[in-house]
Amino acid sequence: MIVRKTDRVLVLGITGRQGAFWTEKMLACGTRVVGGVNPKKAGETQSGVPVFASPAAAQAAVGFDVAVMFIPPAAAREAAVAAIEAGAKLLVVLTEHIPQQDVMRIHAAAARGGTRIVGPNTAGLVTPGECFVGIMPAFNERVFRPGRVGVVSRSGSLGTLVCLELTRAGLGQSAFIGIGGDPMLGTTTRDAVAALDRDPGTDAVVIVGEIGGAMEEEAAEYAALMKKPVAAFIAGAAAPPGRKMGHAGAIVMGDRGSYASKRRALESAGVAVVDTPAEIPTALRRRLP
C-alpha cells in the first residue's frame, strides 16, 4: 500500500469534475496514470490519457496495477467490483457514504480476487518525490517533502496537517497511507503500520488515529514489537460520546472506541502519544537515533 512511480494507475470516473482535476494533479506529480474509465466516453482522451469503457477493457489495452475511484456512493459497488474482477492489485476507494452492505460486498469481491482495498472514504496514498493516488495536496511542497517518516491516517485533513508539521520540522515523509474514515476498512491501521515497518525507506512511524472502533488498539499490539520509533496523535478527546463525529467510524459507545482506551493501549506499547499535532516531530526526534 505504498505507491511507487512505476505503478500503473487507472482512474475510475476520470471525466467527472473531481476525477479530471485530480488526474491532472496526479500526472503533474509523476503518477503513472495509464488511463481512465467512463463507459459513455470510451475512445476519447482526458488530460492526455485514454478513456476506456471498463476496467477490463483498460486491462486488456494498457494494463494497470492500481485503480482509484472518483465514483458517487450509489454506483461505487459496481465500479469497485468491475475493477477487482479486471485484476486490480490495489483499489483506492475515495468514496464516502457507500451503504455498509455494499462495502461488505466490495470486500467479499476483493477477498476472492486477491485485491487490496484502501478505504472506503480515504484521501489516498502519497509517496513524496515519487507520486500520489487520491485527493491529497502531494504537490504542495510546504506539506509533503521526501523524508524517512511514514504516516498512517484515518483522516485526510488531519493527515495533511501532520505531514505539514513533519515538513516544517525538516523531517518530511517516506510515505503517507490514508486508510479512511469508514468503520469497515480494507486496510487497517495495523496493516499500514506493518507495511511501513517493513519498508526500508522508513525509519519512524506516525499513527494519526481518531475515536471509534478498535484499530488503534490492534495497531498498538503490533507497535509493541517494533524496533522503529512510533508516535501517535488521536483525535476526538473532546468529542461528546454517542454521536457520530462526521466520519461514520468516529463514534464512542460506552468505553469501546474511547480516547482513553486508545491512548492507554498505545502508551503501554511504548508509543509516544502527544496532545497536539505540533508535538509530533519533537516526540519522534527524541526517539530517533
Partner 1 sequence: MNFEEHAAKTCILAAAGIATPQGRLCRTPAEAAAAVAAIGAAVVKAQVPAGKRGKAGGIRRADTAEEAETAAGAILGMAIAGHAVERVLVEARAAIAREFYAAVLPDVAGRCPMVLFSTEGGMEIEEVAAARPEAIRRRRVDIESGFAIADARAMLYGLGLGPDVDAAVAAVLVKLYDAYRRFDAELLEINPLALLADGRIVALDCKFVLDDAALYRQGEIAAAGAGERLTELEAKGAASGLKFIQLEGDVGVLANGAGLTMTTMDVIRHCGGRPANFLEIGGEAYTKSEAALGLVLANPGVKSLVVNFCGAFARTDVMAEGVVKAWEALKPKIPVFFSIHGTGEDQAVALVRERLGIEPYERMEDAVRAAVEAAR
Q: Which residues are catalytic?
A: 247
CB atoms within 10 A of CB 218: 16
Using an 8 Å Cβ cutoff, are 37 and 53 in contact? yes
Residue 90 CB, shortest distance to partner 1, in Å, is 17
Residue 83 CB, shortest distance to partner 1, in Å, is 17
What is the largest distance, in Å, between two alpha-carbon atoms of the chain? 56
DSSP track, 97-128: ---HHHHHHHHHHHHHHTPEEE-SS--EEEET
Rounded distance between C-alpha atoms, residue 55 and residue 59, angstroms: 6
Residue 172 CB, shortest distance to partner 1, in Å, is 16
Q: Would residue 227 be called left, alpha or beta, if left means φ above 0 and alpha means ψ between -120 and 50 degrees?
A: alpha
Q: With respect to partner 1, which residue has the nearer C-beta, 150 or 156?
A: 156
Selection from 30, 36, 34 nearest residue 16 by Cα: 36
Residue 18 CB, shortest distance to partner 1, in Å, is 8
Q: With respect to partner 1, which residue has the nearer C-beta, 52 or 132?
A: 132
Q: Per the structure block, which three cell numbers stand in for 5?
A: 512511480
Q: Is 151 helix (H, G, I), strand (E, B) or coil?
A: strand
Rounded distance between C-alpha atoms, residue 188 and residue 193, angstroms: 9
Q: With respect to partner 1, which residue has the nearer C-beta, 104 or 225?
A: 104
Residue 105 CB, shortest distance to partner 1, in Å, is 6
Residue tagged 467510524 (cell numbers): 249
Q: With respect to partner 1, which residue has the nearer C-beta, 150 or 180?
A: 180
The residues of the shown chain that bind partner 1, judged by CB under 8 A, are: 18, 73-74, 96-101, 103-105, 107-109, 111, 123, 135-137, 140, 142-143, 153-161, 164, 181, 183-184, 186, 208, 210-211, 213-214, 233, 235-240, 243-248, 250, 254, 275-278
